[in-house]
Structure 1
């Protein structure tokens, strides 16, 4: 079954049949989510996705979210959509959990260009809803001829891509920006496998000192060829190591 628009279930019920009160909760815009790529009914870093959902639910709503409940809801939505390869999102609101299912997505590995923008996500450690500014700056970057936006703070401190994490290569270590940012699942899976690596403050002024950079999110990874006017080489050996590290991560049965 090929789905252009997402198939949506709310607490295990098709959105079209859901209680209107639950639909109203979804319109509140207050909640959080995780995004995962499912292949053959399996997901890389499933435990990290479940930990993310539980931790953010505790912080936002003062209670936990049982991982087995999440797995049951995801399995049900996948079965209802007739898909085992899919892009899945789990949205958590105060009184409801929504699951969306659509066709699988993979990040193209073509080198990316980034436009720096003066914005950092509020409460950056949570993958929360309400990302108007991210969409705005992502669109502005596209209109200016770039592939993505790079979020920065005071003093040009680099945080993250507008929907990605970013890492730099200094010729010796993979450097992860030490700034407010979401610790993405793919980043969390790659970081311990890409040794040596380090956390360090990275500013726009520092960019010429790095040999390479790359992006990652739930869809995969890609090298960076340019940030503003700073060009980067595509280090094939580095990207091959990233690819190997990514492929080493086992997929877990939902």
Structure 2
């Protein structure tokens, strides 16, 4: 379960961008230039949101817009116009009912907010349970979906070399926060448990939390530590690609609760696709 990464310019994508599935990069409503990308390559200052697009529509448009607005306020004390974000995304989509993996980045070159929109090949989670490796790292300013992702990227790379699919970020005392690119949900046999350690409120998790109570699955929040993991019956991960079961965390195996996974996915799939 990985993010969609890469860069290129509309109409002039290189082999690396094509390998990564990147189809288009626009900055402020036009094809990205070399100068646009150079500034972003040498500055790690910015934030973004990621969404799947189906038929030109996105789930939880308001959640994505509020994420971008809140982070822009916190980072730079500026208000981001949600109407402008919508306009830039619609322009990138070209008015077509297309499927894609969408990212909207916010930067501030030359003292003004700037929007970069990328489109890549659409993605979905698979049905195979994932292997997860805990790592001793937590994201700084974890509530912001910022560009400072070296720590979890490198730990994810190291875990991947050992055959793991995802990492579990943990604090010095073993408290579980989140996955490298996911939120984590635990099932204790009676209820869903969400960790209370600082973490990004993923858009998929946010939308799930809105619908879970009506499905009889209202989650509780409490601290979760590595020492507690053996006591859970099932574990799930969620991000913009969907929801998937965990089959193993660092050697401890979990049975896949297919019925519960279907219920979680049904709650998420009930969220309507909206026009941007």
TM-score, with length taken from structure 2: 0.87
Structure 1 position 67, deviation (Å): 0.9
Take 2:240 and 2:22, find their aligned partners in 1: how far apart are those partners? 19
Take 1:102 and 1:197, find their aligned partners in 2: how far apart are those partners? 33
Instruction: Evaluate the alpha carbon distance shift between residue 86 and residue 124 of structure 1 in structure 2; reply closer, same or farther with a 3 A threshold.
Output: same
Given that 2:235 and 2:246 are in contact with CA atoms closer than 8 Å, whether structure 1 keeps it comes out as: yes
Structure 1 position 130, deviation (Å): 2.0
2:226 aligned with 1:211, yes or no? no
2:216 aligned with 1:175, yes or no? no
| Structure 1 counterpart of 2:102 | 88
2:10 aligned with 1:10, yes or no? no
| Structure 1 counterpart of 2:134 | 116
2:242 aligned with 1:242, yes or no? no
Structure 2 residue corresponding to 1:140, chosen from 154, 158, 167: 158
Take 1:129 and 1:6, find their aligned partners in 2: how far apart are those partners? 21
Secondary structure in 2 aligned to 1:183? coil
| Structure 2 counterpart of 1:48 | 63
Take 2:37 and 2:59, find their aligned partners in 1: how far apart are those partners? 30
Given that 2:185 and 2:235 are in contact with CA atoms closer than 8 Å, whether structure 1 keeps it comes out as: yes
Moved more, 83-92 or 164-173: 83-92
Cα deviation, 1:215-241, whole Å, max 9, x if unaligned, reads 010011100011112211111121111
Secondary structure in 1 aligned to 2:63? helix
Structure 1 position 198, deviation (Å): 0.4
Take 1:34 and 1:8, find their aligned partners in 2: how far apart are those partners? 15
Secondary structure in 2 aligned to 1:47? helix
Given that 1:172 and 1:196 are in contact with CA atoms closer than 8 Å, whether structure 2 keeps it comes out as: no
User: How many pairs are equivalent?
Assistant: 249
| Structure 2 counterpart of 1:230 | 252
2:177 aligned with 1:162, yes or no? no
Structure 1 position 193, deviation (Å): 2.1
* Residues 28-39 of structure 1 aligned to structure 2 (within 5 Å): 28-39=43-54
Structure 1, gaps ≥5 residues long:
none
Secondary structure in 2 aligned to 1:104? coil
| Structure 2 counterpart of 1:220 | 242
Supply the RMSD in Å over aligned alpha carbons: 1.6
Structure 2, gaps ≥5 residues long:
1-10, 12-17
Structure 1 runs of 4+ aligned residues shifted over 4 Å read none
| Structure 2 counterpart of 1:189 | 207
Secondary structure in 2 aligned to 1:159? strand
Secondary structure in 2 aligned to 1:73? helix
2:149 aligned with 1:131, yes or no? yes
Given that 2:183 and 2:238 are in contact with CA atoms closer than 8 Å, whether structure 1 keeps it comes out as: yes
Take 1:24 and 1:83, find their aligned partners in 2: how far apart are those partners? 31
TM-score, with length taken from structure 1: 0.94
Given that 1:109 and 1:221 are in contact with CA atoms closer than 8 Å, whether structure 2 keeps it comes out as: no
